[in-house]
Structures are given as structure tokens and as C-alpha cells.
């Protein structure tokens, strides 16, 4: 027989216990054979011959589960994507996507980038006064229908809606989504009720809604209409980028108290039954709800996993950098914890009546770590009343069902894609055992514990680097842009092991300079980025935006066209050029 080459040889796990995430008993002392990216055979170890030249892993005493999914993720720094794989998270649903995410997906599929499988939303869609800057604003039927068609045409997987979407626009998006054959998911806008959202075909509800909308809890109140009017008044002029006034804080405390006082178990049961009847999924994201409701807990800042986060993320997780939360009093934190506890209880009640749940964390929000926090979420789901099996299903077979991928993902079966996690201990005895990872298989490639440790060590080193943006900004503000450029080249030649010279750092500095109205300086920083990363479509997008600010239409078009040449699916460039050519 011809000897199998190193790159072609099969991967075999012997004597493994397979956790049956579809339900039913576990399968013990099994041998799993993987060829290429697929599981090709599973049998009792005593009954299966080993392929010649196979890579054999002794899985005695260990447990195989499907690769895990985090179904609510925001992330924009490519170098940290391996954190998902290092934690057994082989799939992620990106809840605010862009051209970069589409490019990552291509590179991951080709094997040129290590990261999880990606299901990607288009940009967040909100109303004329969006809650988050950068969202797409729609205000009428034409805009609502156009944005749905645009999201689909650009290759995104679903439409993401947000809290301030106008009532009519929401229903036009729902209608156009059905006509276009693309799902929509996200928050329950404050302009409609949870019942209306469930009846309109919204595919999933995130977070039990949000910190200011309270969509699910509102629908569980015996005074829902009264609360909706009170919320409308309390949220007038509200901005997540501004400190709340004393009257606004008092209004939201009062609203929270009324929500708790008027919670009605019968209304809650009727709502949860509606979830089941309409086959609407719930992604509770207890991890982010916990951190947002108890951000004043000092234990968060001592989390050892912070060493894997870039400095700009660590700084963004400092509460003093968030005026909306920094203004909270002790009384506000106390009532917030009570609301969280009611949300927590609701998740268990939902599961008991059969609401389909998805495990998601809201990665990038405070203390929601890529990869790591999915295990936090599983633990919180069990605390909320799910069994370990139900929690595990929320991160394995449930995402596969939600995404229509049960033929290839979600369970450990022959014929399915080889995304697997090998555990040292049984997760059904203690859900915390999902953290005890002995190895990960992604798309058929095996990463033993040593390789996973190397990934973590490398990312810890990257995270410890000082951003090159810091000395450059100091040079720009203290001297001039020419001094900053000279310093950049000097430091790159002599201090490459100290500073982070990545594309993302220069890009962030350029946008920061634009906000400071230093357009000429921003253009020069973007020029350096283009010079350093000439094959990146993203670095041409940024100077195009800077040239918009400087009024140089010719260079705007030139840079967007170059970005499109490198990445024909760059939806931002497509839309920008469309507007430029129709003006």
C-alpha cells in the first residue's frame, strides 16, 4: 500500500468518550477517524482498524465534544482571533460586520489565517438618531428596504437591527427580509413590543434585549404600556457617550423598580410560549449583562485574562472611560443587580418551557474575552437553571440548528466537519470542565495542548507591546507630523520588540487624528500604513475617508477603487463610490 504523506495522513482519536450533544447516552471507548476536514468513521475501538500512517491520539479518559460556538461577538483585531481556537471556540456569529470580517472569513477558509468559522451581520441598522455612532440610519420604507437588499448583496448572512429603529422601518425591514430570503436579528426596538417582534419573524432576540430597552422584561409586566411611555420620557436626549444627569439616573432607577414590581409570571409564561410557537431564538448573553450590571465590582479589574487583551481594549473596559456608566451611584448599581437577577431567572424559566437558547457573550464589551468568556457563559447558563447538557447544546447543536448547518456541525458524527474539542474531564458532571482542554481540532487540523499554550503565549506577548500610536501622537502634538514620521522609522528599526507596529494601531491613530481635526496629520499616518501594508484593502479605505475631510474628491475615488481592487467585496467602498458617482 502507498505510504500516506504527512499532509494527507488521517487523524485518529482512540479510546475516547463521545458526548452525545443530540441527547441520549454517551459513547465510551470509541475511535474517531478524521480524513481531511471530515470525520470519516466512528466505531468501538476494538472493531476498527487504524489507517496506515495515521496520527494517533490516545484519548483514554478524555471526552470529545463538538467545537463550541459563541453566538454574539464583536471583534476587529485579527491577531487575537486565535484566542477563540485556543479556547475550543471554533465558530462565532459576528453581530456588527464589515468588509474586514468578510475578508477574514475567506482567509480562514483558505487556511491562511487561524480563527473561527464566521457568520456575519451587516452594519447595525438603527433609526435617525442611532444609539451607537457608525450605525446605518434608516427613517422610511425606501431606506429600510434598500438596506436589507444591500446587506444581502454584500454577502452578509443576516440583518442586525437596533434599539432606536422607528416602528414603520422595523416592519418594512421584516417584510423585505422575508422577501429577500435573509434573516434579521438583534435588539427589540423601543418603538415596538416584544410580542410584535416575535410575530414579525425576528430570528433571534439578543441580551433579553438591552440595558435601556428592557424588551423582554417589559413584556412580562402587567403594566407594559405604562412602562413603555415612562421609558420614552426617561430616554429623551439619552446618549451612551454622555454622562447621565441626576434626573435621568433617578428616572431609570424608578423604571427599573417598576419593572420588578410589576413582573407577572402569567404574562412571562405567555411570552415564552410565544417564543416557542414562533420558533424565535433567545441569546441571553448573561456574561455581558453581569459585567454591565456590576461593573463597579473590583474583581473584574483583577481578572488574569486581561493579559491577553490589547491595551486599547483594556482601557475601553475602564469604567471611567464610559460616562454613561461612570455616573452611576451605589443605588444605581444595587437596582441594576436586582434587574440582572430577574433576567437571570427568566432564562431558566424560558428553558423550562422550551425556548431555544444560544450561548453568546457579547465579546469586546467589558470583560467579555474572546474564547475564554464562552466558558463563563456556559457556567452562567447552568447557574440560571439549565443542565450541563442543555448549556453545552446552547453552544453546539443549537447554533448548528439555528444556522441550518446540522448536516455538517453540532454533533460528533461520521460525515460531519471535524471541529472538535478534547476535554480532560466530563462536562456533564461539571460544566466548568469545558475549560479543561486537552486539544482542539479545527477543520481537521489537530492543535494539542502544547500548541494551544503556544498560541496563548504569543498573544500575551503581542498584548504586552506598547502601541506605536502613543509616541507618535506625543510627537505630533508636542512637535509636528514630520517629527512623528521620523520617530516612526527610527523606532521600527531599533525597537520592534517593544512597540506594536500593526496595521490596526496606525489606523486607529489616523482616525483619532481625524476626530481631533488634524486631517493633514491623519493623511500622513494613513500613508505610512499604505506603504507598510500595501496588500491590505482596509488601509486604502481609511485615507479615502481622510481625503473626504480634506475635500480631495479625486484621491477619495482613487483610494476606494484601490481598496475594491484588493477586495471586490468591500461593501464600504462600493457604497461610498456609489454615492460619489450619483452626486
Measured distance CA(108)–CA(117) in Å, rounded: 7
Which parts of 406-487 are beta strand (E)?
A: 420-423, 437-442, 445-448, 466-467
Beta-bridge partners for 204: 281
Per-residue confidence (pLDDT) for residue 571, from 0 to 100 = 65
Domain ranges across the chain: 466-582
Q: What is the DSSP string of 185-240?
A: EE---TTS-HHHHHHTT--EEETTS-TTT-HHHHHTBTTHHHHHHHHHHHTTT--T
Per-residue confidence (pLDDT) for residue 552, from 0 to 100 = 86
Measured distance CA(162)–CA(135) in Å, rounded: 9
Relative to beta strand 158-161, strand 136-137 is unpaired
The superfamily CATH assigns to domain 466-582 is Tetratricopeptide repeat domain (1.25.40.10)
Measured distance CA(217)–CA(267) in Å, rounded: 10
Angle at 532 between CA 526 and CA 538, to 5 degrees: 55
Per-residue confidence (pLDDT) for residue 105, from 0 to 100 = 96
Measured distance CA(129)–CA(159) in Å, rounded: 19
**Contact in structure between 284 and 205 (CB atoms under 8 Å):** no
Report phi then psi at 121, rounded to 5. -85, 160
Measured distance CA(38)–CA(16) in Å, rounded: 17
Per-residue confidence (pLDDT) for residue 126, from 0 to 100 = 94
Which parts of 443-523 are beta strand (E)?
A: 445-448, 466-467, 499-500
Per-residue confidence (pLDDT) for residue 4, from 0 to 100 = 36
Measured distance CA(232)–CA(574) in Å, rounded: 37
Per-residue confidence (pLDDT) for residue 95, from 0 to 100 = 97
**Contact in structure between 539 and 520 (CB atoms under 8 Å):** no
Per-residue confidence (pLDDT) for residue 6, from 0 to 100 = 44
Per-residue confidence (pLDDT) for residue 439, from 0 to 100 = 98
Per-residue confidence (pLDDT) for residue 2, from 0 to 100 = 35
**Contact in structure between 412 and 39 (CB atoms under 8 Å):** yes
pTM assigned to the model: 0.90
How many C-beta atoms lie closer than 10 Å to residue 53's C-beta? 15
Give pLDDT tens digits along the chain (583 positions): 333 344 568 999 999 999 999 988 999 999 999 999 999 999 999 999 889 899 999 999 999 999 999 999 999 899 999 999 999 999 999 999 988 899 899 999 999 999 999 999 999 999 998 888 888 999 999 999 999 999 999 899 999 999 999 999 999 999 999 999 999 999 999 999 999 999 999 999 999 866 676 789 999 999 998 888 888 887 777 777 778 888 888 988 999 999 999 999 999 999 999 999 999 999 999 999 999 988 888 888 899 999 999 988 998 899 888 888 888 889 989 998 999 999 999 999 999 999 999 999 999 999 999 999 999 999 999 999 999 999 999 999 999 999 999 999 999 999 999 999 999 999 999 999 999 999 999 999 999 999 999 999 999 999 999 889 999 999 999 999 999 999 999 999 999 889 999 888 898 899 889 889 999 999 999 999 999 999 888 888 888 888 888 888 889 889 888 888 887 767 677 777 877 777 6
Per-residue confidence (pLDDT) for residue 210, from 0 to 100 = 65
3-state secondary structure of 534: coil
Measured distance CA(32)–CA(41) in Å, rounded: 6
Angle between helices 224-234 and 246-261 (to 10 degrees): 170
Residue with cell 451612551: 240
How many C-beta atoms lie closer than 10 Å to residue 20's C-beta? 17
Measured distance CA(361)–CA(356) in Å, rounded: 16
Amino acid at each position: 500500500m502507498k505510504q500516506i504523506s504527512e499532509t494527507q495522513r488521517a487523524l485518529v482519536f482512540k479510546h475516547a468518550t463521545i458526548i452525545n450533544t443530540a441527547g441520549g447516552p454517551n459513547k465510551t471507548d470509541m475511535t474517531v477517524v478524521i480524513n481531511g476536514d471530515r470525520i470519516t468513521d466512528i466505531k468501538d475501538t476494538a472493531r476498527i482498524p487504524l489507517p496506515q500512517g495515521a496520527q494517533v491520539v490516545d484519548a483514554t479518559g478524555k471526552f470529545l465534544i463538538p467545537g463550541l460556538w459563541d453566538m454574539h461577538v464583536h471583534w476587529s483585531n485579527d491577531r487575537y482571533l486565535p484566542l477563540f481556537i485556543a479556547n475550543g471556540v471554533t465558530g462565532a456569529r459576528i453581530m456588527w460586520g464589515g468588509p474586514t470580517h468578510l475578508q477574514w472569513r475567506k482567509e480562514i477558509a483558505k487556511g491562511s489565517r487561524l480563527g473561527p468559522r464566521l457568520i456575519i451581520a451587516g452594519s447595525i441598522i438603527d433609526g435617525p438618531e442611532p444609539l451607537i455612532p457608525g450605525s446605518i440610519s434608516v427613517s422610511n420604507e425606501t431606506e429600510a428596504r434598500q438596506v436589507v437588499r444591500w446587506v444581502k448583496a454584500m454577502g452578509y448572512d443576516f440583518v442586525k437591527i437596533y434599539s432606536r429603529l422607528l416602528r414603520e422601518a422595523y416592519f418594512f425591514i421584516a417584510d423585505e427580509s422575508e422577501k429577500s430570503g435573509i434573516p434579521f436579528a438583534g435588539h427589540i426596538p423601543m418603538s415596538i413590543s416584544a410580542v410584535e417582534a416575535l410575530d414579525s419573524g425576528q430570528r433571534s432576540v439578543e441580551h433579553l434585549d438591552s440595558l435601556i430597552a428592557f424588551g423582554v422584561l417589559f413584556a412580562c409586566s402587567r403594566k407594559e404600556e405604562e412602562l413603555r411611555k415612562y421609558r420614552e420620557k426617561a430616554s429623551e436626549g439619552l446618549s451612551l457617550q454622555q454622562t447621565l444627569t441626576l434626573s435621568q439616573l433617578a428616572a431609570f432607577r424608578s423604571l427599573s423598580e417598576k419593572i420588578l414590581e410589576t413582573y407577572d409570571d402569567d404574562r412571562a409564561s405567555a411570552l415564552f410560549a410565544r417564543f416557542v410557537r414562533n420558533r424565535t431564538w433567545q441569546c441571553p448573553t448573561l456574561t455581558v449583562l453581569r459585567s454591565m450590571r456590576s461593573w463597579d465590582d473590583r474583581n473584574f479589574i483583577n481578572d488574569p485574562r486581561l493579559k491577553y487583551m490589547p491595551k486599547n481594549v483594556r482601557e475601553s473596559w475602564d469604567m471611567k472611560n464610559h460616562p454613561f456608566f461612570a455616573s452611576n451611584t451605589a443605588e444605581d448599581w444595587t437596582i441594576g443587580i436586582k434587574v440582572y437577577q430577574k433576567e437571570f431567572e427568566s432564562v431558566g424559566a424560558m428553558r423550562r418551557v422550551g425556548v431555544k437558547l444560544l450561548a453568546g457573550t457579547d465579546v469586546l464589551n467589558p470583560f467579555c474575552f474572546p474564547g475564554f468568556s464562552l466558558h463563563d457563559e456556559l457556567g452562567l447558563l447552568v447557574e440560571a437553571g439549565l443542565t450541563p447538557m442543555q448549556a453545552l447544546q446552547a453552544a453546539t447543536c443549537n447554533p448548528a440548528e439555528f444556522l441550518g448547518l446540522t448536516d455538517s456541525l453540532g454533533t460528533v458524527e461520521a460525515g460531519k466537519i471535524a471541529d472538535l474539542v478534547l476535554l480532560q474531564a466530563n462536562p456533564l458532571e461539571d460544566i466548568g470542565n469545558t475549560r479543561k482542554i486537552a486539544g482542539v481540532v479545527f477543520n481537521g487540523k489537530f492543535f494539542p495542548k502544547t500548541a494551544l499554550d503556544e498560541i496563548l503565549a504569543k498573544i500575551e506577548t503581542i498584548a504586552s507591546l506598547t502601541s506605536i500610536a502613543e509616541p507618535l501622537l506625543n510627537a505630533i502634538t508636542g512637535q509636528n507630523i514630520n517629527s512623528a514620521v521620523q520617530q516612526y522609522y527610527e523606532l521600527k528599526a531599533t525597537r520592534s520588540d517593544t512597540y506594536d507596529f500593526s496595521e490596526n494601531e496606525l489606523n486607529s491613530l489616523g482616525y483619532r487624528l481625524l476626530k481631533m481635526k488634524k486631517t493633514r496629520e491623519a493623511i500622513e499616518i494613513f500613508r505610512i500604513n499604505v506603504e507598510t501594508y500595501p496588500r491590505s484593502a482596509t488601509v486604502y479605505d481609511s485615507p479615502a475617508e481622510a481625503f473626504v475631510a480634506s475635500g480631495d474628491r479625486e484621491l477619495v475615488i482613487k483610494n476606494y477603487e484601490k481598496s475594491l481592487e484588493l477586495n471586490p467585496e468591500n461593501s464600504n467602498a462600493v457604497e461610498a463610490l456609489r454615492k460619489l458617482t450619483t452626486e
